[in-house]
Amino acid sequence: MSNKYREFTQLNLPSIEQEILAKWDAEQAFEKSIEVREGAVPFVFYEGPPSANGMPGIHHVISRTLKDLVCRYKTMKGFKVSRKGGWDTHGLPIELGVEKELGITKEDIGKKITVEEYNQKCREAVLRFKDKWDDITKKMGYWVDLNDPYITFKNEYIETLWWLLKQLYNKGLLYESVSIQPYSPAAGTGLSSHELNQPGTYKDVKDTSAVAMFKAVRNEKSEFLFKAISNTEQGIKNDELFFLAWTTTPWTLPSNLGLTAGGDIDYVLVKTFNPYSGKPCAVVLAKALLHKYFPAHIDEFEEGGDLYEAINNWLNHDSDEFLIEKSAGLKIQFDGIIKKKQLPHKIVATFKGKDIEECRYEQLLAYEANKETGGDSFRVLVDAFVTTEDGTGIVHTAPAFGADDFKVGKKYGIGILTMVDREGKFVDGLGEFSNRYVKNYKDEKDYVDVNVDICVKLKKENRAFKVEKYEHSYPHCWRTDKPILYYPLDAWFIKTTALKDKMVELNKTINWKPKSTGEGRFGNWLENMVDWNLSRSRFWGTGLPIWKTEDGEEEKCIGTIDELRTEAAKADKELGTHNSQLITHNLDLHKPYVDDIILVSATGKPMKRVPDLIDVWFDSGAMPYAQWGLDYDKVKNGDKYPFKLPAGVEKFEDLYPASFIAEGVDQTRGWFYTLHAISSLVYESVAYKTVVSNGLVLDKNGNKMSKRLGNVVDPFHTISTYGADATRWYLITNASPWDNMKFDIEGIKEVQRKFFGTLYNTYQFFALYANVDDFAFKEAAIPLNERPEIDRWILSSLHTLIKKVNESMDDYEPTQAGRLIEEFVDEHLSNWYVRLCRRRFWKGDYEQDKISAYQTLYECLETVVRLIAPVSPFFSDAVFNNLNAITQRFHAASVHHVDFPAADESLIDTDLEERMQLAQDTSSLVLSLRKKQNIKVRQPLQKILIPVLNTHMKEQLQLIEDLIKTEVNVKEVEYLTADNSFIKKKIKPIFQTLGKKLGAKMKAVAAALGNFTQEQIAELEKETVYNLLIDNEPVPLYLTDVEISSEDVPGWLVANKGSLTVALDVTITPQLVNEGNARELVNRIQKIRKDSGFELTDRIDVQLSGADTLAASISEYKSYICAEILADSLELVQETANGTEVEVNDLLINVQVSKKGG
């Protein structure tokens, strides 16, 4: 084995990664990383199964990076982290993909292609891109077990789903009901929301809309309305009072069972006339919509006229004599304004929606068929979904034909009427409308719109207030192009609402990152939970394990394949069915096979499986259990967790619930919900303790990535070009994982250059000199107190970093952790420690100071690579191995097998870190002052002046004085203490503490301080308290409440940062000029050395010409110059043979450098 640290030729992340990947493969590094933690506390991780039906994208890389880094981190923290992969293989996208490929539609299934063939195609399609997924998984460095993944279409998986469903069934949590779903009568099928979201399904159509008049029944509830239309003592002469409700689907009116108002919406009762018959009436509608039906002003209707009198007679006095009818002239006038829909009106009452709750009305279109409603119908209901944007603010409610209607109808128990059959036509027993299609579903040439006829009938019967064509957007079946109906369809539900409180309570124990998703989006979702509709009418998926007799009287829920076998055999015996031919060893639980199995009921009747498949979300939500499959012995025992256990696991509690899961935020109501629901319902437990939901990956302009826009980022290309580590680092540190991120390749380049480049260079620097000196960490570690201050400082910073990184990682804040590491590597390690210590590595002998430098830098590098290992698994492992190969400090083949660094508090010295910060700030200020005066750093200056505010500050500065002096090239540092009247001081309140104390007086105090004189500041400093007078009240101001800083040192060049002030003496004496020249000359000659390609150790001879004015400098600093440039001689000559022309402080000279023996 070589005893030299490996030096890279250049930083090439992709090639390093390939090398490491090969090494991992050869050494089984992933498996080993779990083995080394055998017997440790498990950290349970669930892999949300991707669908291998599509290509992996960059957004998959971010969530998998997140999962991977947490798992790697926890492994390094000493947990055993098993990671079983999985594939989601059912679902509509797969069916649609197959249909597209075969050029068929759903209708062709069972006709052009058998269900058997179709499902076979789906089975082949689902893992189509598995190779690509495996490839990206490997290349991005995602450690997950792909050898034994769970696959949702496998029998063992489906069987576990059945078992779970049966648990729910037995608890009475699985039931059959109706739900209102989009339905296409023309195609005879329900439509999924996905199908409804196809482009072009929503079309603008003109429909006949009607504002129908529902006649109120006079009773206790409605009495206040009836009283309001008649305030005469004679009582009411006209009791026609109506609720107005609007519909764009008049065909739903025969199925009307309720009217829904908004509880807090203002309604008015208006006296007016029927716009079609002119008959006086009173109507109720939302106040906000009054002027949609009634003009604010009517021209023809002027005060004093006969018509005015006549109308007022009714509107205001409730006279039973309707004068208009008695005068032909008035009648013509009146009909005129009515025809123009200029309805005279008067508001006689204003009230809230909740005031008319439970008022009753007469059925609008009563026929034989809708006599029995199955509930307490024809009431006014109240619900929040009502708005005053359209219509009348009262919603006609037909529970069969709207999801909201159904919901509110169920709440009030108004029953349900479905007066339209599945073909889209009215049922028998609806008089003239019987058997007519509600839309033109059969393409009848002379189709007469039944909606128009309904409206005509309403007009004739004085039950229409407004009938007009209304243009709106309405969904159409994407296959038949016909309008869909919302229609009640049978479906199976999981009664999640029964366990709602439990689910809400359990959710509060889950650690959500970010918190708001759990409380907000997820919390609200739980609060407004509805029962989970499991049914899907599709082909490729998990079948519902319920068999029913034809009459629907008896049903059976099957929980295992064994049970199915037993029941099937029983049926064969009792009914003579041929199930045994179907249930063979290669039984397939998919359609059509499972549908062919006939079971027998308790009373001996044949039972067929209900044709529904279940929602694929149940598949993935059940993965904590189904990924292991059922253990029959445990099922027989009635174990709580009858699942198989992988080798080395003794109890299911070591696999459940998950310690951590992570997916995109779009899974909140998807996977996160179904995991939570199933776990809560079956086990009353959470399914996961911590969940991180990451945001989307957008393109660099903030647009969603889509194939159509061509802005998708190919992760394969990104990784092969820039490396997985740079990509991962960028994805994690650019923004918090839960924020949407704008993905820009430039960002990866920057990470590569800035972070990895810097770390790489630091390593290279170390390797370069360590190889020269054969440093292999063989010496005992030098005790901290024997190391120089700068070493103690970087180690202190390092351990502060370790502490913070641990905290951030434990809090699932990898972004914070990554940024902290970046800052350390860049600001502290590379640009301060290494820069200031450079000479220690190449100057002098191999003894304590040098060894200390090597040890310190080594420790930093070794620690940093362990810190970055979770995020950047490849580069860290490469550097770790390069280091460890020489020193053998760890007996581990990979950084992923060692422990994560733990902070040693005893190494942390906050004072030291503070004063180094002070040194950096001071240097920065001096450099900035030099810049202002255009004095280069190589020109030595005499001194700087630092006003110190207290003794602590002075002590701190004194300890780093030498450092500052070398860094900024000045000869001395002078301190000005507080009692110095020479400095001009500034006073500023500390708002944070003082504000809390003073409250409202804060402003006045701040103003007073702004006007403080130097004398006042001095007094405060001396007495430590100053009594201010604010609004004639004494306000004591303490020294601790303010920040006093020096603002200016009169006569000096001054710069400030915070409370630090530095003054620089910019006088350059001839003495200083000489020294400056000498240093400048050294610099030029070093450059010549480098350009000439000399070795670091080559000795040289130097001759200078044209440098007479530098003679003084050279003679004074000759030994210094020679030492720096490794020259054995340095002479001034008249002319050089073939020298190089250089410029030393505006002076052109000629330099001849010759290598000794060269």
Partner RNA sequence: UGACCUGUAGCUCAAUGGUGAGAGCAGGAACCUUAUACGUUCAAGGUUAAGAGUUCAAAUCUCUUCAGGUCAACCA
Identify whether the C-beta of residue 689 lies closer than 8 Å to the C-beta of residue 510.
yes
Task: Of 763, 755, 873, 872, give the one whose Cα is nearest residue 823.
Answer: 755
Residue 118 sits in the site that holds RNA (CB under 7 A): no
Residue 723 sits in the site that holds RNA (CB under 7 A): no
Select from 453, 554, 827, 1101 the one that contacts RNA (CB under 7 A): 827
Smallest gap from Cβ 743 to RNA, in A, equals 9
Measured between alpha carbons, how far is 805 from 499 in angstroms, rounded to an integer? 40
Smallest gap from Cβ 277 to RNA, in A, equals 23
Smallest gap from Cβ 11 to RNA, in A, equals 5
State which of positions 303-322 bind RNA (CB under 7 A): none
State which of positions 371-400 bind RNA (CB under 7 A): 385-387, 389-391, 395-396
Measured between alpha carbons, how far is 626 from 907 in angstroms, rounded to an integer? 49
Helix (H) or strand (E) holding 536: strand 535-536
Residue 996 sits in the site that holds RNA (CB under 7 A): yes
Is 832 labeled as catalytic in the residue annotation?
A: no
Is 752 labeled as catalytic in the residue annotation?
A: no
- Helices assigned H by DSSP within 1011-1127: 1014-1023, 1070-1091, 1111-1125
The catalytic position among 339, 636, 704, 1087 is 704
Beta bridge partners of 778: none
The catalytic position among 24, 251, 540, 617 is 617
* Cβ closest to RNA, residue 734 vs residue 894: 734
* Cβ closest to RNA, residue 106 vs residue 521: 521
State which of positions 1091-1150 bind RNA (CB under 7 A): 1096, 1124
State the number of CA atoms in the 13 A half-sphere of 758 facing the CB.
Answer: 20
Residue 761 sits in the site that holds RNA (CB under 7 A): yes
Select from 51, 208, 247, 856 the one that contacts RNA (CB under 7 A): 247
State which of positions 924-953 bind RNA (CB under 7 A): 924, 927-928, 931-932, 934, 936-938
Burial class (CB in 10 A: 0-12, 13-18, 19+), 696: middle
State the number of CA atoms in the 13 A half-sphere of 395 facing the CB.
Answer: 26
Residue 744 sits in the site that holds RNA (CB under 7 A): yes
Residue 919 sits in the site that holds RNA (CB under 7 A): no
Smallest gap from Cβ 997 to RNA, in A, equals 8
Is 667 labeled as catalytic in the residue annotation?
A: yes
Tokens of 519: 């409380």
State which of positions 185-224 bind RNA (CB under 7 A): 193, 196-197, 202, 209
Is 570 labeled as catalytic in the residue annotation?
A: no
Four-point Cα dihedral 29, 31, 33, 39, nearest 10: -160
Measured between alpha carbons, how far is 872 from 722 in angstroms, rounded to an integer? 13
In the shown chain, the binding pattern of residues 57 to 96 toward RNA, with x for contact by CB under 7 A and - for none, equals ----------------------------------------
Q: Interface with RNA by CB under 7 A: which range of 302-310, 718-726, 945-953, 984-992?
A: 984-992
* Cβ closest to RNA, residue 213 vs residue 583: 213
Identify whether the C-beta of residue 1103 lies closer than 8 Å to the C-beta of residue 1145.
no
Q: Interface with RNA by CB under 7 A: which range of 70-78, 324-332, 451-459, 830-838?
A: 830-838
Is 466 labeled as catalytic in the residue annotation?
A: no
Is 88 labeled as catalytic in the residue annotation?
A: yes
Measured between alpha carbons, how far is 609 from 597 in angstroms, rounded to an integer? 8
Smallest gap from Cβ 998 to RNA, in A, equals 7
Smallest gap from Cβ 655 to RNA, in A, equals 28
Smallest gap from Cβ 306 to RNA, in A, equals 39
Smallest gap from Cβ 765 to RNA, in A, equals 4
Residue 292 sits in the site that holds RNA (CB under 7 A): no
**Amino acid identity at 18:** Q
Measured between alpha carbons, how far is 456 from 514 in angstroms, rounded to an integer? 58
Measured between alpha carbons, how far is 559 from 265 in angstroms, rounded to an integer? 50
348: Cα separation from own chain's centroid: 53
Identify whether the C-beta of residue 253 lies closer than 8 Å to the C-beta of residue 454.
yes
Identify whether the C-beta of residue 132 lies closer than 8 Å to the C-beta of residue 717.
no
Select from 155, 440, 462, 736 the one that contacts RNA (CB under 7 A): 736
Is 962 labeled as catalytic in the residue annotation?
A: no
Select from 305, 1090, 1129, 1158 the one that contacts RNA (CB under 7 A): 1090
State which of positions 549-608 bind RNA (CB under 7 A): none
Identify whether the C-beta of residue 539 lies closer than 8 Å to the C-beta of residue 109.
yes
Residue 835 sits in the site that holds RNA (CB under 7 A): yes
The catalytic position among 181, 627, 667, 1152 is 667
Sign of CA dihedral 818, 821, 825, 828: positive
Length reported for the chain: 1158
State which of positions 790-819 bind RNA (CB under 7 A): 815
Q: What is the CA radius of gyration of the chain?
A: 43
- Helices assigned H by DSSP within 825-960: 835-842, 848-868, 873-887, 910-933, 951-959
Select from 375, 475, 947, 1139 the one that contacts RNA (CB under 7 A): 475
Select from 254, 402, 488, 1076 the one that contacts RNA (CB under 7 A): 402
Q: Interface with RNA by CB under 7 A: which range of 444-452, 602-610, 763-771, 895-903?
A: 763-771
State which of positions 403-442 bind RNA (CB under 7 A): 403-405
Residue 353 sits in the site that holds RNA (CB under 7 A): no
Smallest gap from Cβ 1096 to RNA, in A, equals 4
State the number of CA atoms in the 13 A half-sphere of 242 facing the CB.
Answer: 25
In the shown chain, the binding pattern of residues 619 to 658 toward RNA, with x for contact by CB under 7 A and - for none, equals ----------------------------------------
Residue 1083 sits in the site that holds RNA (CB under 7 A): yes
Task: Of 925, 912, 913, give the one whose Cα is nearest residue 1058.
Answer: 925
Q: Interface with RNA by CB under 7 A: which range of 331-339, 467-475, 790-798, 1103-1111?
A: 467-475
Residue 1066 sits in the site that holds RNA (CB under 7 A): no
Select from 435, 703, 933, 980 the one that contacts RNA (CB under 7 A): 703
Smallest gap from Cβ 198 to RNA, in A, equals 10
DSSP codes joined into one string, 423-469: TSBBPSSSGGGTT-BSS-TT--TT---HHHHHHHHHHHTT-EEEEEE
Task: Determine what percent of the chain falls in helix, strand and coil, rounding each to the nearest 5.
Answer: 45, 20, 35
Smallest gap from Cβ 552 to RNA, in A, equals 27
Residue 520 sits in the site that holds RNA (CB under 7 A): yes
Select from 279, 340, 411, 472 the one that contacts RNA (CB under 7 A): 472
Select from 623, 661, 834, 949 the one that contacts RNA (CB under 7 A): 834
Residues 6+ apart with CB under 8 A from 539: 95, 109, 115, 118, 119, 122, 591, 613
Residue 105 sits in the site that holds RNA (CB under 7 A): no
Select from 4, 352, 669, 954 the one that contacts RNA (CB under 7 A): 669
The catalytic position among 671, 729, 793, 832 is 671
Smallest gap from Cβ 516 to RNA, in A, equals 4
First vs last C-alpha separation in the chain: 35
CA distances from 1033 to 993, 1029, 1037 (A): 20, 5, 12
Measured between alpha carbons, how far is 292 from 434 in angstroms, rounded to an integer? 34
Scan for tokens 């669930």, then name that residue. 46
Residue 754 sits in the site that holds RNA (CB under 7 A): yes
**Amino acid identity at 965:** K
In the shown chain, the binding pattern of residues 149 to 188 toward RNA, with x for contact by CB under 7 A and - for none, equals ---------------------------------x------
Q: What is the DSSP letter of 833?
A: I
The residues annotated with a catalytic role in the active site are: 49, 88, 617, 667, 671, 704, 707
